[in-house]
Structure 1
Amino acid sequence: MKKKKSWIRNVMVATAMAGLGFSVVAPGFSTPTTAVGQPDLPLPKEESVSVVQLEIPNEQAVEKLLELGVDLTHRIHEHDGKLEVDAVVTPSEVAKLKAHGIHVKDTLITEQQWNARVKERESVSQLQSSLAASEDTIKILRASHYTNQSDTFLYVEAKTSAGDSASTALTATWTENGEEKSATLRRFVDYGEYIYHHFEVPVSAIPSSVKIESNLGGTATSSVTEWLGADKPGNPNKHYVTDFIDHYMDPAELYERAEKLAEEFPDLVEIIEMPNQTNGYRRLAQATIGSTTNTAVVVSSQAWGHEGGNDITIEFENPGTENADLEVSVEGKNVLVELATDGEGKVTSTAGQVVNALNSGASGLITATTYRGNAGAGVVQENSAQLTDNLNAPENISREPMTVKAIRIGKHRDGSKPGVLGYAQEHAREWVTPLVTIETAERLLRNYAHDGETKQLVNNLDIFLVPSVNPDGANYSFYDFNMQRKNMTNHCGPTLSDSGVRNNWGVDLNRNHSVGSAFDGFVGASTTNCTSGTYAGPEENSEPEARNLVWLADQNPNIKFAMNIHSYGGYFMWSPGAYDPNRTTLPRPSAGEEAFYWAASDLILNDIQDHRGTVILPSRTGPIPDVLYSAAGNSADYLWYEKGIYAWNFEVGADLWDKEAKRWRPVGFQPSFEEGHEEAMEFANGLIGLMKVAYNNSKDKQPPSTKANPGTGKFSGPVEVAFETSEAATIYYTLDGSRPTFESTKLQLAGTREPSETLKVDTTTTINWFAVDAAGNIEKNYNPIGKSSQNFNSATITIK
């Protein structure tokens, strides 16, 4: 057993279900088992799920809601004196909630709406595929230069036959004073109709011609003529291209886009293939034969469904003779069960007997169990079934284990530059989050040639973007069950491995990490209920998807900043992310570290707001337990506590204000693409904002300065000593007159969401201290390691 860090509790306690985000298990709220000796009941019917907003009458109902383990999407909040929360529920669950006074106030998304959004996504995807299949045609509508009172500009409009796809990018190249220049054109769409691409940039010399190239292969060239009109509207000095997404993308599309970017920008991009392949978008083929719990037989193929399991048929047959024995025969992929009969020719074989016979006579093809641990004492009936893996994705979606990929962007990708990591879709149902990474990648690459700030970021940072941490689960969410949160690995064992539980299998990848985990007694995940939406897995880091993130951080120690992109609710959070049943959190960041988190947040949240005015509320900004709930074993805590990476969490999809109703409206995991697009655009702003934070931090060579207030002096009674800092910085101090080092006490927060603590001095004390900022600059260039250095700060408080 590996040695745990000092902040890990050494005693094991039962993981409380007091946090939010727990999965529904259809039907009902409890683990779907049928204990031996229960009455023979009809097999439960499958139910659709919806995302709804629940209205909770009182605190007693809240306790009941948590006791039932409903899949809550984010924290319970108060509106007009009433408690509300969004939840993923089935119709039977809604009925049970109603019995406890909990009502559905609003339905955010239904299965019918999900199907409509899938069709919308597929139609755009098909359009892109057809456009990519042939080279596009480009027409240059105009290529002009003009000079106004401030500068000379080049303006170009061009139109491509593949312009209906946002992924079609046009790049202009021209020669300026013997040097080749380039710029990406901006796609202009009005009221859903593609009009043209265009750009406008200042030039130091007028080019004679301009060439337009498409990423699909089309080209066109035009001479540059003078434009005799006036200055173009807008700000011609700022040509920054955005908007490269036009539909929700499944993992195959995400990786295809990433590979194309690497081909197009080989000097700036490489694709990192993670070492731990996923389990794959694949299932065993299954059938539950029978109509009641005590007579049902669950049959599963030995082979994956796509590798032959889907071809298997099972038939239960009355042989038509008296006193027949139970027999199993196999012919190819067909299994025939001739049932036992009595002296009157009536079937006598029970479900349990048929299970034993199948496991004995057809074990090379299938395995069989009774229904969810039932005794199987009921007599089976004649029946037949075709096994199926119940996977509905088209054939072009691979069923094989997937290699998770990261897009690495930077002029210097050798570890010499500070690393920034953005990773998305740990939770499969969060469709917007991968778009944030793709939009960000496109912006960095297509603005590099002509936008100085972008070039600064790409030249001075090492950027890692993982569009989908959980590709198997994402495929399942797109094609089979839209509310899939976890990956697709089934750890339930035979009792809960019939196809009726298939939407509840898997591990919550954001609960599978080794810091503050449920295995160490922290709240917010389950270690025992394999069907829970926050099931942490059989052990820490059991899942390849979680191990990939650990590997990426281990292989690239230059990563100093990270963003875990989730949805929804419009949150912006950081560590600690978990607490124990006594609500004792993982160690809080020092006062200086917390100040840096807040300072960086100000820049990032301002960039988010710039797109359409979205404000991430103060109540949804801060450490995870302060604004949301406990999330045991989350990945951001691993990055912060184990790797020292400043790690934030986006929850994209901020609630929208309904001015007429005077209330906030939640947007859900899979809003209409019109809304999803806006969320991706504004949070791509925020992700690039994080890169600005990283760049500014890398260029910070100025040591912080601090001041104690009061400082050295004589006082008649106890005093409270506060520290002022010139910037966000961690203060290390001693109170015994000794020389401060990195092992000395850090100045902490006074309390949750409070400023720095003060030091109460009631006897004569010498305080020695120094400060370190987030860039590693040490006040006065003091060396805490070298024993000879003495240029730390000191103040003696004399109490008379």
Structure 2
Amino acid sequence: MPLPKEETVSVVQLEVPNEKAKEKLLELDIDLAHRMHEHNGKLEVDAVVTPSEIEALKKHGITVKDTLITEQQWNTRVAERESKVQLQNTLEAVEDSVKVLRANHYTNQSDTFLYVEAKTSAGDSSSTALTATWNENGEEKTATLNRFVDYGEYIYHYFEVPISAVPKSVKIESNLGGSATSTVTEWLGADKPGKPNKHYVTNFVDHYMAPAELYERAEQLAKEFPNLVEIIEMPNQTNGYRRVAQATIGSTTNTTVVVSSKAWGHEGGNNISVELKKPNSPNSSLEVLVKGNQIVVNLATDEDGNVNSTARQVVAELNKQASNLITATTYRGNAGEGVVSAASVQLTDNLNAPEEVSREPMTVKAIRIGKHRDGSKPGVLGYAQEHAREWVTPLVTIETAERLLRNYAHDPDTKKLVNNLDIFLVPTMNPDGANFSFYDYNMQRKNMTNHCPPTQSDPGNRNNWGVDLNRNHSIGSAFDGFIGASTTNCTSGTYAGPAENSEPESKNLVWLADTFENIKFAMNIHSYGGYFMWSPGAYDPNRTTLPRPSAGEEAFYWAASDLILNDIQDHRGTVILPNRTGPIPDVLYSAAGNSADYLWYEKGIYAWNFEVGADLWDKEAQRWRAVGFQPSYEEGHEEAMEFSNGLIGLMQVAYNHAKDKKRPTSKAVPGKGTFSAPVEVAFETSEAATIYYTLDGSRPTFESKKLQLAGTREEAETLTINKTTTINWFAVDAAGNIEKNYNPLGKGKNYNSAKITIK
């Protein structure tokens, strides 16, 4: 056997779940770095590993949390270091400027916290440190801020600490001399006017529900409320909760035969048996006999009566003589030169759901709620369980549907929403995967369609097949070079599929958005972690994101989020943290090919992502506790209640948007005038609105430049005017109202104008 090819090595951060796994890590003689750190109850260990070592570690529950550096990257690090040194020297030569992005206090279920984000102009240097000071009950408190960098881009510095009293202000100072002070304001805490309707009814879910239950519940609602509900059946049926029947015959890789039925397991594959039989005579020939569903392989023997049939030979003969029933392969591409042993197996699809759970392709259904379901009203879409293991998320949609329908008759606010909106709720986008998660493998993330080649289609990989539906869409996809999904590893948890939009489940979402063009708002409901996010959702290897929303669009996302997150908090005080609110790359990671990006960029739909299941604060232990994908139902119920609040909050946003007929106003600061030096011109608007502007004296249109953000997590940019310039502009709010009734497509001149004269 030739020497194996030399493997590349990487420095990775391993997550070690327990002491037993730690012992196994040491036993395997892995090349460990010197860093071990306990975080969230798990040990993080840096190590130098090869791909085969990573696979060996996975068998013991030790997984790669992060890749720190690969061999290919090492060659660029010396040059990077030199440029960093030059940058640091430049930054340290002058006093930096500090900007406080947000300074908030909030009270969660069990404690009060101070949270601050600040940004320094020298943030690209890791040696730049920011320190906060504030007064708490007459005592000066201080804290060092953490520097947050994602994929090489400096985002901001931040800190979060429990406090005994809310300070009036906080001061941020840099070790380079910059400083800034900000008033501390309340995050999501303002009481709303009026009292909730005491007759408003909630708590309509009482257990986790599998797909058949969800659809049955939907049909019951349609039957009970025929004037308000219809069921939308989507055109692309899933592959079904089904598998071919299989068996792995053998104990070592080069002597093993993998057999798979041609028929689905429930359609006859589970009835097939295969026996590798040793004859009682020498010099026997390899022979395959098929009788009904029984396949008998009489193995070849030598002159001494010993079996001499190899796995490769058995595979070839099975495929020749029993191809009407099965296909056979060696184990994961092995040459199969080892001699097989006698054995007898019964093929099985390994599916454990009871018989009443259908194995057939499923029709994905949406609950459509509204007094006027003719496309004349603004549409709101809430869809859940793209990822199968997220059991809480369907409950959010069912609870919301029940609330809308059962409060309609007596609650004016509910009636207002149902009468003026067209609401689409999809309890589960991934019913096949959900069934697999409930009955077979609870950590199933993907659908059940196996796109793996024969070398990866043995039963040992059955829990890793499928496509991540939230990586299968066509905008910002891994196929276009964006980060956060795999196009080559069919067993990866974020496998994007064989092509963009390859899966029927993904096609169904596209169909919904294409068919019902009145949909203007959407919520993709996931778990867990307590995030509230929007586009862009992906970036490329240079950390260049998909186009950011304009400053006005971003302001609308934030304003709408404030309303929705307040509604979530109303249930039991759960606060979606400031550092978990915002565009996806700013608070989480890149998710190539996610569905919300498709809705925003392709269809112009304001699309958010819930991650239900915020961490719970353990006051006694002074730490956050994660809730998981499948928390105890008691906790899952509470998550469903609070995020149903939030989903209805989105509907309120849509209603307000539809009723908004007020035109925005805007002004330039400073306005027209004569100045002796260059000036920075900012724009103030009466509400969240996009500014279209020109600097060459021409008439502004929708093709003109939009005012963008000044930077990540920052407010709108300012325009640097260093020579005499006439700025022409107009504002448009999210509802499409245009300032001064200006028509950008016409010839009118009722836009704003300011001449900045520089002498």
Aligned partner of 2:42 among 42, 48, 54: 54
SS of structure 1 residue aligned to 2:401 = helix
* Other structure's SS at 2:627 match: coil
| 8 A Cα contact 1:20 1:524, kept in partner | no
Partner of 1:738: 698
Q: Say yes or no: does 1:313 pair with 2:273.
A: yes
Change (3 A) 1:310 1:52: farther
Provide the C-alpha distance between the structure 2 equivalents of 1:532 and 1:97, rounded to a whole number of angstroms. Answer: 14
Relative to structure 1, is the Cα distance of residues 326 and 311 closer, same or farther in structure 2, using a 3 angstrom cutoff?
Answer: same
Q: Equivalent of 1:493, from 450, 453, 475?
A: 453
Q: Structure 1's 605 and 721: CA in aligned 2 closer, same or farther, altered over 3 A?
A: same
SS at match of 2:255: coil
Distance 1:299 1:593, change over 3 A: same
Identical-pair percentage: 79
Task: Pick closer, same or farther for the CA change 1:96–1:646 going to 2, 3 Å.
Answer: closer
Cα distance in 1 for residues equivalent to 2:466 and 2:686: 48
Equivalent of 1:513 in 452, 458, 473: 473
Instruction: Indicate conservation of the 8 Å contact 1:19/1:524, yes or no.
Output: no
Between the aligned partners of 1:389 and 1:341, the Cα distance in structure 2 is: 32
2:543 to 577, 583, 590: 583
Q: Aligned partners of 2:459, 2:534: CA distance in 1, in Å?
A: 38
1:21 Cα shift? Answer: 14
Shift in CA distance, 628/236, structure 1 to aligned 2, threshold 3 Å: closer
User: Larger relative contact order (C-alpha < 8 A, sep ≥ 6)?
Assistant: 1
SS at match of 1:768: strand
Contact 1:448 1:455 in 2 (8 A): yes
Letter matched to residue 364 of structure 1: N
Structure 1 residue runs of 4 or more that deviate by more than 2 Å after TM superposition: 17-22, 51-57, 63-70, 93-98, 234-238
Q: In structure 1, what is the Cα distance between the partners aligned to 2:729 and 2:14?
A: 43
In 1, the alpha carbon distance for the partners of 2:390 and 2:341 equals: 43
| Residue in 2 that maps onto 1:791 | 750
Distance 1:19 1:448 in 2: 54
- State the one-letter code of the partner of 1:799: I
Change (3 A) 1:796 1:96: closer
Matches within 5 A, 1:493-642: 493-642=453-602
For 1:93, the equivalent position in structure 2 comes to 61
The residue correspondences of 1:404-419 to structure 2 (distance < 5 A) are 404-419=364-379
1:375 pairs with one of 332, 335, 341? 335
Please tell me whether residue 276 in structure 1 is matched to residue 244 in structure 2. no
Give 1:717's aligned residue.
Answer: 677
Residue matched to 2:26: none
Alignment of 1:705 with 2:670, yes or no, is: no
Task: Indicate how the Cα distance of structure 1 residues 434 and 725 shifts in structure 2: closer, same or farther if over 3 A, else same.
Answer: same
Partner secondary structure for residue 434 of structure 2:
helix
Q: 2:423 aligns with which of 463, 468, 481?
A: 463
1:265 is aligned to 225
TM-score normalised by length of structure 2: 0.77
**8 Å CA contact 2:14, 2:64 repeated in 1:** no
Q: Distance in 1 between matches of 2:622 and 2:469?
A: 37
Q: Deviations over 1:733-762 (max 9, x none)?
A: 000000000000000000000000000000
Is this contact kept in 1: 2:14–2:62, CA < 8 A?
no
How far has the Cα of 1:69 moved from its partner?
8.0
Give the conservation status (yes or no) of the 8 Å contact 1:514–1:638. Answer: yes
Q: Is the partner of 1:626 in helix, strand or coil?
A: helix
Distance change >3 Å, CA 529–CA 738, structure 1 → 2: same
Secondary structure of 2:624's counterpart equals strand
SS of 2:579's equivalent in the other structure is helix
What are the Cα deviations for residues 581-601 of structure 1, in whole angstroms up to 9, with x where unaligned?
A: 000000000000000000000
Q: Take 2:196 and 2:526, find their aligned partners in 1: how far apart are those partners?
A: 35
Q: Does 1:430 align with 2:390?
A: yes
Q: Is the 8 A contact 1:570 1:651 kept in 2?
A: yes
C-alpha distance in structure 1 between counterparts of 2:271 and 2:499, whole Å: 35
**Alignment correspondent of 1:773:** 733
SS state of the match for residue 294, structure 1? helix
| SS of structure 1 residue aligned to 2:253 | coil
SS at match of 1:684: helix
Asked whether the 8 Å contact 1:21–1:533 carries over to 2, the reply is: no
The DSSP-based 3-state class of the residue aligned with 1:302 is: strand
**C-alpha displacement of 1:321:** 1.1
For 1:509 and 1:686, locate their aligned partners in 2 and report how far apart those are by CA, in whole Å. Answer: 24
Q: How far off its partner does 1:786 sit?
A: 1.1
Deviation at 1:289, TM superposition (A): 0.5
Tell me by how many angstroms 1:790 deviates. 1.1
How many residue pairs get aligned? The number is 602
Structure 1 gap ranges (5+): 1-16, 29-50, 71-88, 101-233
Counterpart contact for 1:19–1:629, Cα < 8 Å: no
In the alignment, the residues of structure 1 paired with residue 13 and residue 593 of structure 2 have an alpha-carbon distance, to the nearest angstrom, of 14
Determine if contact 1:20/1:66 at 8 Å carries over to the other structure. no
Q: Could you say which residue in structure 2 is the equivalent of 1:359?
A: 319
Q: 1:66 deviation in Å?
A: 12
In structure 2, C-alpha distance between the alignment counterparts of 1:66 and 1:602, rounded to whole Å: 45
TM-score normalised by L of structure 1? 0.73
Contact 1:525/1:536 (<8 A) preserved: yes
1:319 Cα deviation after fit: 1.7
SS in 1 for 2:62: helix
Unaligned runs of 5+ in 2: 1-9, 22-38, 69-193
CA distance in 2 between counterparts of 1:18 and 1:712 reads 57
Task: Say whether 1:673 aligns with 2:617.
Answer: no
Aligned partner of 1:56: which letter? Answer: E
1:354-409 CA-to-partner distances (Å, cap 9, x unmatched) read 00000000000000000000011111111000000000001111000000000000
Question: 2 CA distance for matches of 1:460 and 1:97?
Answer: 46
Tell me, yes or no, if the aligned pair for 2:54 and 2:64 is still in contact at 8 Å. no
Q: Distance in 2 between the 1:415 and 1:584 partners?
A: 37
Is 1:752 the counterpart of 2:700 in the alignment?
no
Residue in 1 aligned with 2:651? 691
Give the distance between the partners of 1:316 and 1:68, measured in 2 at CA. Answer: 34
Give, in whole Å, the separation in 1 of the partners of 2:208 and 2:692: 48
Superimposed CA distance per residue, residues 613-646 of structure 1 (whole angstroms, 9 cap, x where no aligned partner): 0000000000000000000000000000000000
What amino acid maps onto 1:546 in structure 2? S
In structure 2, relative to structure 1, the CA distance for the partners of 1:684 and 1:448 (3 Å cut) is: same
Correspondence for 1:451 among 411, 419, 430? 411
Distance 1:723 1:235, change over 3 A: closer
Q: Is the 8 A contact 2:274 2:345 kept in 1?
A: yes
CA RMSD of the aligned region, Å?
2.5
| Residue among 609, 616, 626 paired with 1:656 | 616
Contact 2:617 2:624 in 1 (8 A): yes
Q: Is the 8 A contact 2:661 2:737 kept in 1?
A: yes
Q: How far does the alpha carbon of each residue in 1:439-485 deviate from its partner, in whole angstroms, 9 at most, with x for none?
A: 00000000000000000000000000000000000000000000000
Match of 2:303 among 321, 325, 343: 343
Cα distance in 1 between the residues matched to 2:735 and 2:50:
45
